[in-house]
Structure 1
């Protein structure tokens, strides 16, 4: 079952250090752009992933084509894709050994969540970490 209890969400966010943001945008009017900045300001390293802007930089971080290009340990994959496309990102997260997947507000894919959980990943669906951080009163990472 996806994580829904405040204590579980708090633990996940407190244990996370490196986030890969799938569907990152270089456009300030896009939610993923603002969420990336918020997460960075909270102390997380946020690695943007978007095949359409690969090689560019967003908020000082190189944009990768896909998760397999990153080549370092990923604690959490934050997915800004529609519900149908989220499954592919979840499968990539499983393949690279991420510890958790977080499907953004409005993104619900039960089959992908089941695959992730079966592979040992923690799963959050239909929530935004940038909203949960202040709601759960999680202090910025030092």
Structure 2
């Protein structure tokens, strides 16, 4: 029987230190220098450049595990849109949230029409199971997008 090598084989630091640094970086949106400082407080001397390499190497695997562990969306979705200003220009922010408050999808664009609503619906339904109930703010383009 062939023994497989650890994912962290050949690294100077133990797996727990590497995984903790990568998780902090992606979960809490800390800078690499912040993580370097947090590890230094715990007695681990490592440079921010090393942490960047760890995040590049192990980040995709952590994201895949986190996405798999996330619970499935609920049966009731709430859809709304609002205007936001980016660089002095008005944009439309489309947002879908399930009944537990988990954000399902977000789309930012210039237009507010049937095609935009349809694109948002299709993108959402590709990545999530079909909901039992959809609550909207009665924008006229929603029923057209839902039907198409």
Which range, TM-score by smaller chain? under 0.3
Question: What TM-score, normalized by structure 2, do the two folds share?
Answer: 0.26
For normalisation by structure 1, the TM-score amounts to 0.27
Q: Which gives a bigger RCO, structure 1 or 2 (Cα 8 Å, sep 6+)?
A: 1
Structure (1 or 2) with the larger CA radius of gyration:
2
Select the structure that is richer in helix.
2
